[in-house]
C-alpha cells in the first residue's frame, strides 16, 4: 500500500540546514517500511490506488528525536512517592507515556534510567505492533557521574564516580554496541575519550566546553523542565532539597548551554520528560532559541544531530529514500516563530 501526503512546505533538505535554504515541496510519498520520497505529485508518480492524506497548510518536519526521556516514570510521584507503587507499575505506565510522546511528534526516544528493563519491554511491544509509541533506544539502568538536582544526599556536581570508573564503563559497553551517556561532568576532559553524549552538562565550565568541542562529544542539555518543577514540584511531593538545587542550577545550565553552543560544541535534544509530563517534549525548543540557538539549529538538535549521535543518521531524523520516513505535521512557521512549539505537533 502506498501513501501520499499532500501538504504545505516540508523540510526537504536533509543536509545541515545552514548550508542551504529551506526546501519546499508540496507532496510526500511513502511506502511501508524504510522507503520514502518527496517532490511534486508528477515527479513521484503516486499510484492512483494510493491513499492520499490531505494536510493543507501543514508544514512537514522530520520525526523528532528525544535523547533523554523517562517513559517509565511519573512526574506526579515526586520525592518518595514512587514507593507507593509496585515495580511493574512503571512498565505499565510507560505505555500511555509512549503514546503521548509519539503524539507530540517524537518518533524516536532514547529512554534512560529504567529499572527492570521496562524500556526494553516497551521497545519490544512497540516493535511487535502491540502498542503505539516512538522507536525506542533503551539505555537501561543509569548511574550518575556526579550528584544531580534530583539526587539525595549529594550536592550538584559532587563527584560520584572517578574518571577511571567512567572510563572502565565506557570500555566495557563500547564493544557490545552500547553508547555510554553519563551525566553532569564538570570537567569532561578527564575520561571523556570514550563518551558519546553527556547528559545535563549543567555545570560544564570553560575547560569542559573546550574539551567537548575538541573531542566531538554531544551535550544533551535539558533546558525546559525547571519551569514545570518549580511550578508543580512541591505539590507533586518533590523534596525542598531538590527544588532548591533546581533553582540554583537552572539558570546556570541555560547560560552554559548558550556558551557551549557559541563555542561550537555539538548539541542533541534531551528533555528529561518524565520529570515533567510527556506530550510537552517540544517546549524545550523555545528555551533553546531564547538562549542563543537559531530556530533551525534547535530543530537540528532533535533531527540530524540526534540521529548522528545514535549512529542512525541514514534512518531517522531525515527525509530521504532509504530512511524510515517518520514525518510530523506542524502548524505555523516554526522557523520564524518559536511560539509555535507551545502547541504539540500533530
Ligand atoms: Zn533524566
Q: Residue 220: which region, alpha, beta or left (left: phi > 0; alpha: psi -120 to 50)?
A: beta
User: What is the per-residue pLDDT across 308-324, written as a single tens digit (0 to 9) for each?
Assistant: 999 999 899 887 778 88
CATH code assigned at 220: 3.20.20.140
Q: Give, as residue ranges, everything with CB less than 5 Å from ion ligand 1.
A: 272
- CA 49 to chain CA centroid, Å, is 36
> Higher-confidence residue: 241 or 331?
241
Residues 158 and 126 in one domain: yes
Residues 170 and 301 in one domain: yes
pTM: 0.85
Residues 57 and 176 in one domain: no
Find the 130 Cα to ligand 1 centroid distance in Å: 26
Residues 165 and 271 in one domain: yes
Burial 181-197 (b: 16+ CB within 10 A, else e): bbbbbbbbebbbebbbb
Residue that is written with C-alpha cell 557559541 in the block: 262
Find the 67 Cα to ligand 1 centroid distance in Å: 10
Q: Residue 87: pLDDT band by 50, 70, 90 thresholds?
A: very high
Find the 1 Cα to ligand 1 centroid distance in Å: 39
Question: In the predicted model, what is the mean pLDDT of the chain?
Answer: 82
Find the 297 Cα to ligand 1 centroid distance in Å: 23
Q: Residue 151: pLDDT band by 50, 70, 90 thresholds?
A: confident
> Higher-confidence residue: 10 or 237?
237
Q: Which residue range is the domain that position 273 belongs to?
A: 64-309
Confidence at residue 176, expressed as pLDDT on a 0 to 100 scale: 59
Distance, in Å, from the CA atom of 243 to the CA atom of 249, rounded to the nearest integer, reads 10
CATH code assigned at 51: 2.30.40.10
Confidence at residue 175, expressed as pLDDT on a 0 to 100 scale: 58
Q: Residue 210: pLDDT band by 50, 70, 90 thresholds?
A: very high
Residues 188 and 253 in one domain: yes
Confidence at residue 1, expressed as pLDDT on a 0 to 100 scale: 52
Q: Residue 60: pLDDT band by 50, 70, 90 thresholds?
A: confident
Give me the number of domains the chain comprises.
2
Amino acid at each position: 500500500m502506498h501513501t501520499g501526503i499532500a501538504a504545505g512546505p516540508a523540510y526537504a533538505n536533509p543536509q545541515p540546514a545552514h548550508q542551504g535554504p529551506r526546501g519546499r515541496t508540496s507532496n510526500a510519498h511513502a511506502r511501508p517500511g524504510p522507503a520514502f520520497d518527496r517532490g511534486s505529485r508528477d515527479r513521484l508518480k503516486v499510484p492512483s490506488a494510493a491513499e492520499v492524506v490531505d494536510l493543507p497548510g501543514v508544514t512537514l518536519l522530520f520525526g523528532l528525536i528525544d535523547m533523554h526521556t523517562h517513559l517509565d516514570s511519573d512526574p506526579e510521584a515526586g520525592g518518595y512517592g514512587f514507593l507507593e507503587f509496585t515495580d511493574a507499575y512503571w512498565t505499565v505506565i510507560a505505555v500511555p507515556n509512549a503514546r503521548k510522546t509519539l503524539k507530540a511528534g517524537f518518533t524516536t526516544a532514547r529512554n534512560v534510567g529504567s529499572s527492570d528493563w521496562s524500556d526494553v519491554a516497551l521497545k519490544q511491544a512497540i516493535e511487535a505492533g502491540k502498542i503505539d509509541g516512538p522507536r525506542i533506544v533503551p539505555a537501561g539502568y543509569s548511574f550518575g557521574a556526579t550528584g544531580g538536582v534530583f539526587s539525595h544526599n549529594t550536592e550538584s556536581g559532587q563527584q560520584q564516580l572517578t574518571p577511571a570508573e567512567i572510563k572502565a564503563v565506557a570500555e566495557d559497553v563500547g564493544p557490545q554496541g552500547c553508547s555510554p551517556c553519563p551525566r553532569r561532568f564538570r570537567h569532561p576532559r578527564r575520561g571523556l575519550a570514550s563518551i558519546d553524549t553527556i547528559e545535563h552538562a549543567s555545570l560544564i565550565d570553560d575547560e569542559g566546553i573546550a574539551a567537548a568541542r575538541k573531542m566531538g562529544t554531544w551535550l544533551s542539555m535539558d533546558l525546559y523542565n525547571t519551569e514545570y518543577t518549580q511550578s508543580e514540584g512541591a505539590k507533586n511531593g518533590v523534596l525542598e532539597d531538590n527544588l532548591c538545587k533546581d533553582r540554583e542550577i537552572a539558570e546556570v545550565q541555560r547560560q552554559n548551554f548558550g556558551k557551549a553552543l557559541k563555542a561550537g560544541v555539538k548539541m542533541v535534544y534531551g528533555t528529561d520528560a518524565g520529570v515533567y509530563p510527556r506530550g510537552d517534549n517540544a517546549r524545550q525548543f523555545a528555551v533553546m532559541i531564547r538562549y542563543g540557538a537559531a530556530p533551525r539549529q534547535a530543530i537540528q538538535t532533535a533531527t540530524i544531530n540526534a540521529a548522528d549521535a545514535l549512529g542512525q543518521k541514514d534512518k531517522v531524523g531525515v527525509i530521504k529514500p532509504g530512511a524510515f520516513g517518520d514525518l510530523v505535521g506542524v502548524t505555523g512557521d516554526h522557523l520564524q516563530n518559536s511560539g509555535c512549539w507551545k502547541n504539540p505537533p500533530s
